Amino acid sequence: MEAIMTYRRRPVTSEDIATIKRIIDAHPDKSRRFISQEVCRQWDWRQPNGFLKDMVCRSLLLILESKGFIKLPPKKCTPPNPLAKRKRPSKVIVDETLIHCSVTDLLPIHLNQVRRTPFEKIFNGLVSEYHYLGYTQPIGEHLKYVAFFNDRPIACLAWGSAPWYIGVRDRFIGWSKKIRENNLHLIANNLRFLILPWVQVPCLASNLLALNRHRLSQDWQNLYHHPVYLLETFVDTERYLGTCYKAD
């Protein structure tokens, strides 16, 4: 059947429109969220982790309504958008005493995954205050880590979903467009890497990356129900050499 349109790589046919209309007619008093989730279930439209593509489907429904294909039920409420007027993270008060030693003198370093924990505010505040790019809320799948030495935070790392297309990366992997579409979620991108300015420890960066690399896939599996097999990063070569990534 010929597609009326394609949205997020999914063709939408007249039969799909009919399915949506049937769901709306069968549940006239239900919310748009319910309609969206029911459409996802009937289409088996899911993320790689098995969760429904609810937000993607809601966007599609709004587009279909704007084009006159369907008529959605009235809004029951307008949920708050936490990204619309996001405040800068609060400043975190930490011990700024100079740490200048060898990396072996820092051991053991405790690297904690802090996403959805009380320690997430520490990550957000430190990155906002001390990373040259500041803090921005990641979109999509992501994890945040804080490294501690004797209960003192010394570094922060964040990983998120990989960019959709990077020519040099995709040529290096050697995958086709179709394989990339099916497997991109198995790559994590290093969104932030911060060693706090009063921590002056040679080789610490590569050690932290190694610690993080060894546990990242399992942490991703625990939260998002799928592993990651490849890590990538971008280095601002006007500021950094990227040596720690080569050493890890």
Assigned token pair, 52: 């429904």
Query: Contact 218/226 with Cβ under 8 angstroms?
Result: no
How far is the CA of 183 from the CAs of 49, 51, 212, in angstroms? 12, 16, 21
How far is the CA of 236 from the CAs of 133, 143, 162, in angstroms? 11, 22, 17
pLDDT at 142: 97
pLDDT at 245: 84
pLDDT tens digits, one per residue of 74-96: 988 776 665 556 789 999 999 99
Percent of the chain whose predicted confidence (pLDDT) is above 90? 80
Three-state DSSP class for 160? strand
Instruction: For domain 99-247, give the fold.
Output: Aminopeptidase (3.40.630)
pLDDT of 248 over the 70 cut: no
Q: For residue 141, count CB atoms less than 10 angstroms from its CB and return exposed for 0-12, middle for 13-18, buried for 19 or more.
A: buried
Delimit the domains of the chain by residue range: 3-66, 99-247
Mean pLDDT score, 216-220: 98
Three-state DSSP class for 25? helix
pLDDT tens digits, one per residue of 36-47: 999 999 999 998
* Residue written as token pair 């008093």: 29
